[in-house]
Structure 1
Amino acid sequence: MVEAAASVIAVEAYRDGRNLISYVTKKFDYADDLDMNYKRLKEESDRLFARREDIEAQVQRDKTKKMSKECEAWFYRVKVIEQEVMKLENEFNKGKKRTWRKRYILSRSNLSRRMVKMCEELHSLWVDARVETEVAVEKPPEPVRLINGPKIENKSSLHLAIAEVRGHLRDRDVKRVGVWGMYGIGKTTILQNLNDDEEIGKMFDIVIYVCASKDNCIETLQCAISRRLKLHVEGNDDAARSCWPVDMEVDEFINVKRLSEDDAWKMFREKVGRNINLPGVEPIARLVVNECAGLPLLIDRVARNFRKKDNIYLWRDGLRSLRRWPNVKIHGMDEVLEFLRFFYDDLDDGTKNCFLYGALYPEDYDIFVDYLLECWKARGFMGDVIDFIEARERGHSILRDLIDVSLLERSERMKYVRMNKVIRNMALKISSESKFSTFLVQAQSGEGLHKPPKEDEWKGVTEISLIDNKLHSLPEKVECEGLRTLLLQKNHDLTLIPESFFRSMQKLQVLDLYGSGIKSLPSSISSLTNLTALYLNSCSDLMELPADMRSLINLEILDIRGTGLSYLPVQIGHLLHLRCLRISLSKSCMGSLLEQSKLAQISQNVISGLSLLEELVIDVDPHNLWWDGVVKAVTEQVATLTKLTSLSFCFPSIDCLKIFVTSSSLWKDFSFTFRFSVGYHESTAYKILEHFEYEIFRCLRYVNGEGVNHVISEVLAEAEVFELIHHKGISSITEFGMDSINKMRGCLIEGCTDIVSIINGAHTVEASLGCLEKMVIKNAPRLLSIFSGPLHSGSLARLTTLSIYNCPKLLKIFSSGVVQQLSELQQLRVEECQEIREIIVGVENIGLETGCLPKLKMLILENLPKLRSIWVDDSLEWPSLEGVTVYMCHSLIRLPFGKSNAINLKYIKGQIAWWRKLEWAEDGTRERLQKIFFIFNQ
C-alpha cells in the first residue's frame, strides 16, 4: 500500500512539474513577444479606428441620415475598447523606461498576454464593421422647419386669423381647417407664421409646410409631403393617387379679412419710410392707402412705388395715376392685375358676365344675394333656365365659384356679397374692352352726381349704374336702344321721371328704382316690353301704379314693398308672365268705405290669373282695413297656384291659415319655403333669424293667440323656426305636442304671460328639442324655470344660443341634469331677471363633470341684482370661454375662475367698482385676470 501510494504521489508530482514548466515557458514566451504583440496591437487598433472614421464620414456626407441604433452600439463598444487600448499603450511605454529585469518578467508577460487578447477583440470589432448592413438610416424629419415669415405685429386681421386657427386646432373634432381669401390678402403670411408658431409646434409631432403648384397637381403636393416625412412611395402617378387620397373638404373655414384702415396705414407708412413725413404728404398718403383696399400685397407694391417720391408734386401725380389704375400702368402692380385676370379667364362665359355685373355696384357695396341672382336671371346669364328655384340654385353655384376665387367676397351681413375696389377696377377695365357689353358706371362717385350723364354718354351702352347719387332729374329723352340694365336706386332726390324717358329703351331688362323719391311712373313705361325685373321697393311716395303697366308683358319680377300702396293694384293681374311678386300694403287707404268696398271687389281677384307665380310675398300693415275684407278670397286664390314654391303671407286669423293648409297641396313639399305670420305684428321681420349664421327657409309666427290649435301644431311640425308672441293659455310650449316642436331650429317666446316653463318634462317620454339651436325668451312675467321635470338624454343636444330677457320670477337657469345636456352651447345671455341667484345651481349639480359646457364662448350677465354665483368654485374647465360681460350684478362677488382654468379667456368686461369688490380663492388669480379686464361701456 505504501509503495502504491508513493507511486501515485510520484506521478502527480511529475505532472505538476511539467505543468509548472509549461506555465513558466509560456510566461517567458509572452514576455519575449511583448514588442511584437504591441506592434500587432497598434496595427489592429489603427485599422479599427480608421474604419470608425470612414463610417463617421459616410454618415456625415448625407445630412438626411443618422447612425442606425446598431451602428451606435458598435461605436460605443469601439469607444470603450479605445480606452482599454490606451491603458495598454501607457503601461507598455512606462515599462520601456525601466530595464526589463527578471523580476519584471511576470508583469511583462501579463501585459503581452492582455495585448494578444485585446488584438482578438479589436479584430472582432473590425470584422463586425465590415459586415455592418446598415451603417446609417434616415433621420426623422425635423418637428419644425422655421421659415421666418414676414412679421405681422401691425396686422390685427392676420393676428385674428392665426388665433382662430389655433382655436380650431385645439378642438379634437376639427381635422381640417381652410384659410381662404383673395389674392394678396395675406394667406401665405398667415401660414408661414403658423409654421413658426411655438404653440402649434407643441401641439404636433411634426409641422409640414408645402407650397401648392400653380397647376394644382395633387401628385406634386403628395411628393412634397412625402419628402418632408421622408417616406418612399414607389409606383406610377396613378398608384400614388390611389395610395394618397386627398380630401379638400374642411371642417372649418377661416376667411382672412382685409386690413383695417389703421393697420393698412401703419403698414404703408413703415414701407414708405421717411418720405411719408414730408410736409403736406400725409393726407395724400392716406388717400393712396385707401386705393389699396386693405390688401397687404397691393400696399407693399404701392409703397415701393411711392417710396422714391420725395416731394408733394410727385405724390399728387402718383395718387392721380393710382386712381386711374389699371387703365394706366404702374410699376410693380401689373403682377396683381395679371394674377386676378388669370382667375377671370378661367371662368365660363356666363360666369364672366355674372362677375362683371357686380362692378355696376359701388365699391364695397353690400349686394343682396337674392336680388343679384334675380338680375343675373333677368339678364339671361343663366342660359335657358326658366324656373326660379332652378335659377337660384344655379346662381348660388356661380356665386360660390366667384367667391372661391375671391372675385366676390362675403359681406359681414348674412346673404350679402361685395366686390372690393381692386377687383371692381379690373372688372370695369375688362368691360371697357368688351365688344358686346359696355358699362356706364357713376355709382357713388365722390359726393354723388347732382346731374345725370350727358345725352351722348348714354349711346351704345348696355349697362348703366347711377346708384346712390343725388340726382334731381333725368334727361327728357335719351338714345340708348341697346340698354339692358338701368340702376337708379338710392337717388332720394329724384322725384320725377320725364314722360318720354323710357321711349328708346325697348330692350331694357332690369330697371331698379329702389329707394328713389318718385311719386309716379311715366307713360313711357309701356315701351319696356322686354322688361323682366322691376324694383320699386321703398319708393314710399309712390301711391299707385300706372294703367300702362299692363304692357310689361315679359315682366317676371315685381317688387313693390315699402311703397304707399294699400291694396293689390289690378294692373298686376295682367302681368301673366309674373313669377315673383313682392308687395306690402301700407296702413293708409284713401277714399270712403264704399270706395274701399268697390276696390276690394275689383282687386281681390288679382292673384288668380298669375298661374306662373312661383314666389309670393304679401306683407300687411296691422292697421290696413282693406286687407281684412279681401284676405279670405286672396288666400283661396293663393292656395290654387300650382307652381308656387315660396310664400310669405300674413294670415290675420287661424281660420285663414286653415283655408290655405287644407286647400294647398304644395306647402308640405320639401322644396317649399314659407314665412307664415298668424295674427298681426308691428314688424314683418323675424327676430330669431338674426341669431342664425345660415339661411332658414320655413318660419312660423303666432301673435296674440290663445291655447293650442291643431292647425298651428300642423304647420309648426313643418317649421324650422317658431316665434310665439303675446300668447295666452299655455304654461309650456310642449303643450303644442312634441311631434310639432321637435324639428325646430330656433324659437322666440315673447310677452307670453302664462308661460311657467319652456319645456315640461312631465309631458315628454323622449328627448325634447333635439334640433333646437337658438332660443330667445323675452318678457315672460310668470316664467319660473327654463326646464322643469325630467330631461331625457339627447334633449337640447344642438342648442348653441340661449338668451333670456326680463323674466322677473325666474330663479335659476341650469337646474339638475340640464348642464350635462348642453354640450354645444356657445352663448348664454341673461338680462333683467331680478330673482336669479345662481346660473348653475350648486346643490342640484353635485359632482358635476369638470368638462361640462365645453363649447361655451360668451357669457353675458346684465341687471341681475340677486345673482350670487355662476358656479360654486373654480372646478370647471371652461375650455372654450373667450368673453365674460358682467353689468349691474352687484351681489356677484366671486368668479368661477382660478389660475389654471378658462385658458382661452380673452376679456372680462364689467364696472370698475364691481371688479374691486371681487373675492379670490387664490392669490394669483386676480393678477392673471387683471390683464384681460376692461371697463364696461354700455
Structure 2
Amino acid sequence: MARGLKGVNDVRIWEYASHILGLQPISQTEDRILFNALTFLRRGLGSADQCLKHCASYLESSGTNKIDLIGRWVRGTLVGTLEEGEKVVGDLVNAFLLESSQKGNSIRMRPEIHVELINLYETEVNPILVKLDGRGLTEAPKLETWTDVTEMHLMNNKISKLPEYPNCPKLSLLFLQANHHLRVIPPHFFECMPVLKVVDLSQTRIRSLPQSFFKLVQLQKFFLRGCELFMELPQEVGELHYLEVLDLDGTEIITLPVAIGKLTNLTCLKVSFYGYNDSDRKNSQSNRIIPQNWISNLLQLKELSIDVNPNNQGWNVIVNDIVKEICSLAKLEALKLYLPEVVLLNDLRNSLSSLKHFRFTVGRHEQRIISRLPLEAAVKLEEEERCLKYVNGKGVQIEIKQALQHVTTLFLDRHLTLTSLSKFGIGNMENLKFCLLGECNEIQTIVDAGNGGDVLLGSLKYLNLHYMKNLRSIWKGPLCQGSLFSLKSLVLYTCPQLTTIFTLNLLKNLRNLEELVVEDCPEINSIVTHDVPAEDLPLWIYYLPNLKKISLHYLPKLISISSGVTDCTNVRMAKRL
C-alpha cells in the first residue's frame, strides 16, 4: 500500500487508503488487509490492470521469462510495444504486485497475492446482481442483501427510506433513479462502498448529499437529472478526482463551487442553473455561476450542456467568457448552450463543423410557463443532431445565415420581421431535415423561389408551421425537380390566412410525403388547387403515393380535398371539419 501511495500528497487519499484497509472482508478470505490493499492499488493501475489480470491467470508459480510475458501482452493487445511492456513490468514490481529474479529476467507473483487477486477478478467476472426495478417497492432491501452485491438496481420504485449503514464492499453500480418519494439519504449510507463507480439518483426529491458521498473516490459517473429540489453542490465534490460524467440536468443549482475546478477528468458535464434577477440575489456580479477558466481546463470534455433560465442575470454576465473557453476544447463533440446575443455565434463558428451534436438557443426572451409547441414537435426537436432555435429575431443576421449551413434542425420562434424563410438564404439549408416555424407573424410564404433553377430544401423531411398569422402559401415561384423531395410530414396549426396548401407542381415533388396534418385553418377551401381543365385531370394521377395519414380538424370552409386529383388509396383519414 505504501508503494502505491508513493508521490501522493493529497491527505484525503491517504485517509481513504486507511479507510479501505479497515473495511470488513468481502469474502471468506483470511487476509482482509491484503485484499483491501489490492483493491485500492488496482485503482491507480489504469490499463496496466489488464496486464496484472493476465499474470494472475497465466503466470507460472515458479516464474516466467520476462520477454515471453511481454510478448504475450503484445499479442493480446494489452500493450503496444516491448518498451511499454517493460515499463508496466517495472511499475508492477515497484508496487510489490510482481517479483523479479535472475537479474530481472524472470517474473513471478507471490502466492498470497495471487490468491487474493483471483478473488477480486472472480467478483468482476461473476457479479452478483440485485434487480428490483419497477416492483413498486416502498422499502429498500434488508442489510444482508447489500453485502455481496456488485450491482443494485432499485429504480422506478416508491422507496422513501434507505438503510443507515449498508456494508457494500463489492458494490460498483447503484441505480436509485425515479424513486419520487426518496427525500433524504442517511449520513453514513455511502461509507462502506469503496469501489462504487456509478450512482444514479435522478428524479428523486433529495435536496442535498451526505458527507459520506464524497468519500467515493473511485466514482466515475454521477447522475442527478431532474432533481428539482437540489440547489447547491458542496465544495467537497472536488474530491471526486476520477469523476468522468457529472449530470445535473434539470436541477435548480444556483452556482457551481470553486472546488469543482479539480474535476479535470470530466468527459461529460450537464448542468442546469436556477434563474434569478439582480433583485433576487445580493452581490450577483461577484458570484460567478461557473468558476472562471474552469471550462477551458476540461481537456477531456466531449459533451457539455449548460441549461439556464433566460432570466438568469448571472449567465448574462459570464456567457462571453464561457463561449471563449468552450472554443479551446479540442475534444468537444456535443454542446448545448443558450446565447442571449446573436453575435456570440461568431466565436463558435469554427467549432460548428467539428461538433457532431449541438443545440443552441439564440436570442433574449422570457421563459414560458406553458409552451404552445405541440408535444410531438417538441419530442422531434430533441431527436435531431444539430439544432438551432432562434427566438425574437429581427432582420436577417449574417451569423444566423452562416450557422444554418451546419444545422439539421431549425426552430424559428416569434421572429418579428421576417416575411419568408428564403430571406435567410435557402441555399444555406442544404442539410436541413426538420424545420419548425412558430408565431412568425410577418411570414407570408415559406419559400420564395424567385427565378428558380436550383434544388431547394432537398433534405427536408419534416415541416411544421404553428400560429402563422399571415401565412398565405408554402411555396412561391417555379419549383425545380428534387425540391422538397424528401419531405415526409407537413403539419399546419392555426394559419388563419391560408386558403390552400398544394399546387399540382408542388404535389409532383412530394412523392415521399407520408403525413398531412391541418388544424384550425378556417379559410382553407381546398387542400389542392390547380387550373387544369377537368378533361385533363385523369393525366394527373397517383400523386402522393406514400401518403398514409391525413388529419383535418376545424376547417369550416373546406369544400374539396383533392379538387379531382387522384392520390393514393392507402390513406388513414381523421376529419373534424
Shared fold (TM-score, shorter chain, > 0.5): yes
1:653 aligns with 2:344: no
Deviation string 1:78-123 (CA, Å, 9 cap, x unpaired) is xxxxxxxxxxxxxxxxxxxxxxxxxxxxxxxxxxxxxxxxxxxxxx
- Within a 5 Å distance, the mapping from 1:25-64 to structure 2 comes to none
1:609 aligns with 2:297: yes
- TM-aligned CA deviation for residue 831 of structure 1: 1.1
Deviation string 1:245-296 (CA, Å, 9 cap, x unpaired) is xxxxxxxxxxxxxxxxxxxxxxxxxxxxxxxxxxxxxxxxxxxxxxxxxxxx
What amino acid is aligned across from residue 800 of structure 1 in structure 2?
K
- Within a 5 Å distance, the mapping from 1:225-624 to structure 2 comes to 436-445=126-135, 448-588=136-276, 593-600=281-288, 603-624=291-312
1:833 aligns with 2:551: no
Deviation string 1:689-735 (CA, Å, 9 cap, x unpaired) is 66759952111111100111111111111111111110022211111
Q: Decide whether the 8 Å contact of 2:427 with 2:456 is kept in 1.
A: no
Deviation string 1:381-431 (CA, Å, 9 cap, x unpaired) is xx99xxxxxxxxxxxxxxxxxxxxxxxxxxxxxxxxxxxxxxxxxxxxxxx
Partner Cα distance (1:750, 1:555) in 2: 41
* TM-score normalised by the chain length of structure 1: 0.46
Compared CA separation, residues 588 and 475, structure 1 to 2 (3 A): farther
- Within a 5 Å distance, the mapping from 1:710-725 to structure 2 comes to 710-725=398-413
Gaps of 5+ in 1: 1-382, 385-432, 889-938
- TM-aligned CA deviation for residue 638 of structure 1: 1.0
Deviation string 1:53-89 (CA, Å, 9 cap, x unpaired) is xxxxxxxxxxxxxxxxxxxxxxxxxxxxxxxxxxxxx
Compared CA separation, residues 599 and 863, structure 1 to 2 (3 A): same
1:707 aligns with 2:395: yes
What amino acid is aligned across from residue 359 of structure 2 in structure 1?
R
Deviation string 1:112-141 (CA, Å, 9 cap, x unpaired) is xxxxxxxxxxxxxxxxxxxxxxxxxxxxxx
Compared CA separation, residues 672 and 792, structure 1 to 2 (3 A): same
Q: Decide whether the 8 Å contact of 2:512 with 2:545 is kept in 1.
A: yes
Compared CA separation, residues 741 and 554, structure 1 to 2 (3 A): same
2:22 maps to what in 1? none
Partner Cα distance (2:171, 2:279) in 1: 40
Q: Decide whether the 8 Å contact of 1:734 with 1:763 is kept in 2.
A: no
1:882 maps to what in 2? 571
2:357 maps to what in 1? 673
Deviation string 1:185-217 (CA, Å, 9 cap, x unpaired) is xxxxxxxxxxxxxxxxxxxxxxxxxxxxxxxxx
Q: Decide whether the 8 Å contact of 2:451 with 2:478 is kept in 1.
A: no
2:480 maps to what in 1? 792
Q: Compute the RMSD of aligned alpha carbons.
A: 2.6
SS in 2 for 1:561: strand
What amino acid is aligned across from residue 828 of structure 1 in structure 2?
L
Compared CA separation, residues 844 and 807, structure 1 to 2 (3 A): farther
1:205 maps to what in 2? none
Deviation string 1:453-483 (CA, Å, 9 cap, x unpaired) is 2212111110011112222222221211111
Compared CA separation, residues 493 and 691, structure 1 to 2 (3 A): closer
SS in 2 for 1:564: strand
Compared CA separation, residues 585 and 469, structure 1 to 2 (3 A): same
- TM-aligned CA deviation for residue 584 of structure 1: 1.3
Compared CA separation, residues 471 and 593, structure 1 to 2 (3 A): closer
Compared CA separation, residues 769 and 646, structure 1 to 2 (3 A): same
Deviation string 1:292-324 (CA, Å, 9 cap, x unpaired) is xxxxxxxxxxxxxxxxxxxxxxxxxxxxxxxxx
Compared CA separation, residues 582 and 861, structure 1 to 2 (3 A): same
Compared CA separation, residues 728 and 877, structure 1 to 2 (3 A): closer
SS in 1 for 2:406: coil
Q: Decide whether the 8 Å contact of 1:688 with 1:723 is kept in 2.
A: no
Partner Cα distance (2:382, 2:571) in 1: 23
1:776 aligns with 2:464: yes
What amino acid is aligned across from residue 436 of structure 1 in structure 2?
N
SS in 2 for 1:759: strand
Partner Cα distance (1:623, 1:693) in 2: 23
Q: Decide whether the 8 Å contact of 1:666 with 1:672 is kept in 2.
A: no
Name the count of aligned residue pairs: 451
1:850 aligns with 2:536: no
SS in 2 for 1:817: helix
- TM-aligned CA deviation for residue 438 of structure 1: 0.1
1:346 maps to what in 2? none
SS in 2 for 1:486: strand
What amino acid is aligned across from residue 676 of structure 1 in structure 2?
F
Q: Decide whether the 8 Å contact of 1:702 with 1:725 is kept in 2.
A: yes
Q: Decide whether the 8 Å contact of 2:235 with 2:260 is kept in 1.
A: no
Q: Which has the higher contact order (CA 8 A, sep 6+)?
A: 2
Partner Cα distance (1:845, 1:731) in 2: 33
- TM-aligned CA deviation for residue 602 of structure 1: 6.8
Partner Cα distance (1:461, 1:811) in 2: 66
1:170 maps to what in 2? none
Partner Cα distance (1:638, 1:693) in 2: 24
Partner Cα distance (1:615, 1:707) in 2: 32
Compared CA separation, residues 812 and 501, structure 1 to 2 (3 A): same
What amino acid is aligned across from residue 574 of structure 2 in structure 1?
T
- TM-aligned CA deviation for residue 688 of structure 1: 7.5
SS in 2 for 1:647: strand
Compared CA separation, residues 697 and 763, structure 1 to 2 (3 A): farther
Query: Which is helix-richer, 1 or 2?
Result: 1
- TM-aligned CA deviation for residue 577 of structure 1: 0.5
Q: Decide whether the 8 Å contact of 1:858 with 1:882 is kept in 2.
A: yes
Q: Decide whether the 8 Å contact of 2:222 with 2:247 is kept in 1.
A: yes
Q: Decide whether the 8 Å contact of 2:182 with 2:206 is kept in 1.
A: yes
SS in 1 for 2:321: helix
Gaps of 5+ in 2: 1-76, 79-122
Partner Cα distance (2:382, 2:512) in 1: 17
Partner Cα distance (2:159, 2:184) in 1: 10
Q: Decide whether the 8 Å contact of 2:336 with 2:358 is kept in 1.
A: yes
* TM-score normalised by the chain length of structure 2: 0.73
1:726 aligned residue (414, 424, 430): 414
